[in-house]
Structure 1
Amino acid sequence: MAFWLVFLTAFALALIFTPIAIKIAPKIGAVDVPKDDRRMHTKPVPRFGGLAIFIGTTTALIFTVYGVLPMYQKYFAEAYPGAEFIDQPVSKMTGVIVGGVLIYILGVVDDLKGMPAKVKLLGQLVCGGVAYYFGVRINFVTNHFSALTDHIFFSGAISLVITLIWIAGITNTVNLIDGLDGLSSGISSIASLCLAYTAYIHGAYLTAFAMLALAGGALGFLPYNFHPAKIFMGDGGSLFLGYMLATLSIVGPMKGATVLAMIGPVLVLGVPIFDTGFAILRRLANHRPIMEADKGHLHHRLMAAGMGQRRTVLTLYGISGVMGVAAVLFSRDLFVEMLGLVAIAAMYIYIFLTDANHWKVSLKAVPAESAETQINGNTEIKIETLPPEAEEKVKMDIEQQMPEGITVTESDGTDDE
C-alpha cells in the first residue's frame, strides 16, 4: 500500500500542476516557437511542463524519505526484513533531492535564457558532484566474468570520475530523446517502473519507492504531453528526469544485485543510449560538431519510414519495454533470455537507423480551391521529411518528373494522424 501511495501522490500532483504550468508558461516566456525544420510542431507550444514533474516527484520523494519511512520504520523492519533503508542513512537521498532541485533550476534557466552546451554540461557535473558529496557514488560493480573476485572496486578519484560520467551521460541521454511528443516522458516512465520492480525484488526498497515517485511524476504529465502535445517538459523536465534516473539507480548498495547500479539503466534506456551513440558516430564521420542537432535520430528515421508521431512514439515505447524486461531478466541472472530480447530490439533499431529502403516518400495531392485553378496546374505535392542524406536527392528526382505549376514542399509528419 505504501508503494502505491507514493506513486499516486506524484501522479496526482503532476496531473494537477500541468494545466497550471500551461497557463504560467506564456507569462514568463517559456514557449517553444518552431524556428527550424527539425521541429515537429508548427505552432508555439508552452515548454514549462517540467514544473509538474518536478513538484510531483520531489514532493512524493520528500514525503517518503522524511515522513513515511521514519514514521513506519518499525513496520517496515518487520514487513521487509533486510530492507536497505533500515540500515542506510537518508543522507544519500538528501543529495539526490538537492541535486535534483539544482539541475531543474539549470534546465529552467536554459529554457528561458538559453545556455551554451559547455556551460550546461558544467552545471550537470556540479549537480553530480553534489550527489557524490552526499554519498551517491559508484564504488564498485559486480564482476560476472571472473571467478577470482565478485566485485571490481574503484578508488576515490576513479569513483568520482565514473560517477560524474555516469550522471552526466544518462542525464544527456534522456535530454536528447525529448524530440517527439511524449517520447522522453514515456520512456522515462517505463525505465522508472522497470527499475522500481528490479529494486523491489532485490530488497532495495528505498530505491523502489523513489523510482515509483519518478514514474508517477512522469506519467501524470504524459496525458498533456502525448501527441498532439499541449505542453513540452522543456530542458527543466528532461534534465531532471535524466538526473533522477542516473542518481537513483546508484543511490544504495544492491548487495548481490549490484547490476541494477549500472547494467539495469543501460538496458532500460537502451533505445536513447544507442541512438545517442549512433548520433555521435554519425556526426564524427560527417566531420560535424558532436553537439550539433540533426534529423538523423531514430525517431526521425521512423517518421521517414512513413510513421506519424503517435506510431513512432508507441513503437519506441514497445522497444523500451522489451529492453526493460531484459533488464529484469539480467538482474535475475537469466542471461540467455536477456540476450535474446536485446538481440531482437537491437535488430529493429539497427534496421531503422541504417536501411535506406525504409525511407518512404509520401506524396499528398492537395486540391486547389476550385476546379478551374486545379486544371491550370495549381496543385501542391507534399513529401514527408527525410533524413538529410536522402532529402535533396528525392526532391530533385520528384521535381524532374513534375509538370509546371506543381511544387514540392516538406511536411513535418504531424498531419497524418
Structure 2
Amino acid sequence: MNEPSILAAIVAAFVLSVLLSPLFIPMLHRLKFGQSIREEGPSSHQKKSGTPTMGGIVVILAMVLSVLLVTFFFTDLDFNYQIGLLMLVTIAFGLVGFMDDFIKVVLKRNLGLNSKQKLLAQLVVAAIFYFVLREYEFSTVVQIPATGFSVDIGILYLLLVAVMLVGASNAVNLTDGLDGLLAGTSAIAFGAYAVLAWYAGFPEVAVFCAAVVGAVLGFLVFNAHPAKVFMGDTGSLALGGAIAAVAIILKMEILLIIIGGVFVIETLSVIIQVIVFKWKGRRVFKMSPLHHHYELSGWSEWKVVVVFWLCGIVFAVTGVYIEVWAI
C-alpha cells in the first residue's frame, strides 16, 4: 500500500475544511441557522444560543472531495464498492441529520424530527447498506477480538448492521454537546480505524478514515471553545453512521465498542440516568450525557473536553493493540 495516500487524504481534507468553514459560517449566519439551546441544559450554555449550526456540511464536503481527489491521483487506489458504501452511509445519515437540524432552526421545532421518523430513516439506510453488502457476498461471520472464536450469524447480520448503524449514530450524536468534544473524539476513533485498515490491507478504507480525520480536525479550528460553528446533527449522525460502517466493512464490528468507548460511555450514562430515575425517582448524575455531569461538578468546558479526548486516545490505542496483537 502507498502510505502517502493516507497523508494526502488527511492534508487535503484538513485544508478543504479550513477553507470551506469561513465561507459557510457567514452564510449560516445570514440564513439565521443558529442553534437553539435547550432550557434544561446547563445554564452556561445559553450564551451559545444563535451560534451557527449545520457545520457538519463542511465536514462531509471536505471528506467527499478529498477522497475523490486522492483516489483519482493515486493510481494504486480504486473507487471500489467499499468507498462507495462508506460515502453513501455518511451522506445519507448526514441528510437525516440535516432534516433534523432544519426543522429545529428553520421551523423552530426544538426537538427536530421525532424519534420514530429518525429511526425509520436510519433503518432504511441500514437496510440498503446490508443488502448492497450481500450483493458482494459479504461475510456474515462475526469475530471476537483477541480470540480465535467466530460465529456465522447468517440473516441476523442484518439486525447487527441495523443496531450498529443506528446505535453508533445516536451515540455519537449524544457526545456532541461541548465545543470541540465530538470533533476531537471522532478524529481519534477514525484515526484508529485508519491504522487498522492500513494494517489489514484495506487501503481505500484507510484513505476514507484519514479523510474524515483531516475534515474534523480542520473543522475543529472553528469548533474549539469558544465555538464559532456547531456540527449539528448533520455532522454527528453522519460521523456515527460512518464509523459503524467502517467497523462493519473491516469485519471489526465488536472492536467498535472499545475504539468508540467514549461514545459508549456517554450513551450508557443516559440509559442509566433514565432507568434509575424511573425506578428510584432520583438521578445518578447531575445531568446526562456524562460530559454535562462534570460541567455541573465545576469542571471548565475545556477541561472536560481535554479529559474526554485523552480517554478517547486510551480507548483507541487499546483497540488497535488488541486487533493487531490478535492478527
TM tier, smaller: 0.7 to 0.9
> Could you tell me which residue of structure 1 aligns to residue 47 of structure 2?
42
CA distance 1:296–1:98, change in 2 (3 Å): closer
User: AA paired with 2:275?
Assistant: L
CA distance 1:144–1:285, change in 2 (3 Å): same
1:105 lines up with 2:105 in the alignment? no
> Could you tell me which residue of structure 1 aligns to residue 171 of structure 2?
173
Kindly state the Cα deviation for residue 37 of structure 1 after the two structures are TM-superposed: 4.0
> Could you tell me which residue of structure 2 aligns to residue 53 of structure 1?
59
The answer to whether the Cα contact below 8 Å between 1:17 and 1:51 also exists between their aligned partners in 2 is: no
SS in 1 for 2:151: strand
Q: How does 1:199-210 map to 2 (within 5 A)?
A: 199-210=197-208
1:72 lines up with 2:76 in the alignment? yes
Which structure carries more relative contact order (alpha carbon 8 Å, separation 6+)?
A: 2
Unpaired runs of at least 5, structure 2: 104-111, 280-285
Kindly state the Cα deviation for residue 203 of structure 1 after the two structures are TM-superposed: 2.1
1:305 lines up with 2:297 in the alignment? yes
CA distance 1:94–1:145, change in 2 (3 Å): closer
CA distance 1:208–1:170, change in 2 (3 Å): same
CA distance 1:144–1:231, change in 2 (3 Å): closer
> Could you tell me which residue of structure 1 aligns to residue 31 of structure 2?
28
More helix by share: 2
The answer to whether the Cα contact below 8 Å between 1:29 and 1:112 also exists between their aligned partners in 2 is: no
> Could you tell me which residue of structure 2 aligns to residue 348 of structure 1?
none
> Could you tell me which residue of structure 2 aligns to residue 91 of structure 1?
81
Kindly state the Cα deviation for residue 105 of structure 1 after the two structures are TM-superposed: 1.6
1:191 lines up with 2:155 in the alignment? no
User: AA paired with 1:28?
Assistant: L
The answer to whether the Cα contact below 8 Å between 1:138 and 1:159 also exists between their aligned partners in 2 is: no
CA distance 1:248–1:305, change in 2 (3 Å): same
Kindly state the Cα deviation for residue 249 of structure 1 after the two structures are TM-superposed: 2.0
The alignment of Structure 1 onto Structure 2 pairs a total of residues equal to 304
More strand by share: 1
Unpaired runs of at least 5, structure 1: 74-84, 253-257, 289-293, 336-417
SS in 2 for 1:333: helix
> Could you tell me which residue of structure 2 aligns to residue 315 of structure 1?
307
The alignment's TM-score, normalised by the length of structure 2, stands at 0.86
Kindly state the Cα deviation for residue 35 of structure 1 after the two structures are TM-superposed: 4.3
Q: Distance in 1 between matches of 2:146 and 2:249?
A: 24
CA distance 1:110–1:202, change in 2 (3 Å): same
Identity %: 25
Q: Distance in 2 between matches of 1:202 and 1:247?
A: 16
The answer to whether the Cα contact below 8 Å between 2:145 and 2:323 also exists between their aligned partners in 1 is: no
- CA RMSD, 1 decimal: 2.3
1:252-296 deviation per Cα after TM superposition (whole angstroms, max 9, x unaligned): 4xxxxx4xx1233211211220221231122022129xxxxx923
Q: Which of 273, 290, 307 is the matching residue for 1:282? A: 273
- State the structure with more CA Rg: 1
Q: Distance in 2 between matches of 1:143 and 1:295?
A: 34
The alignment's TM-score, normalised by the length of structure 1, stands at 0.68
Q: Which of 230, 246, 255 is the matching residue for 1:264? A: 255
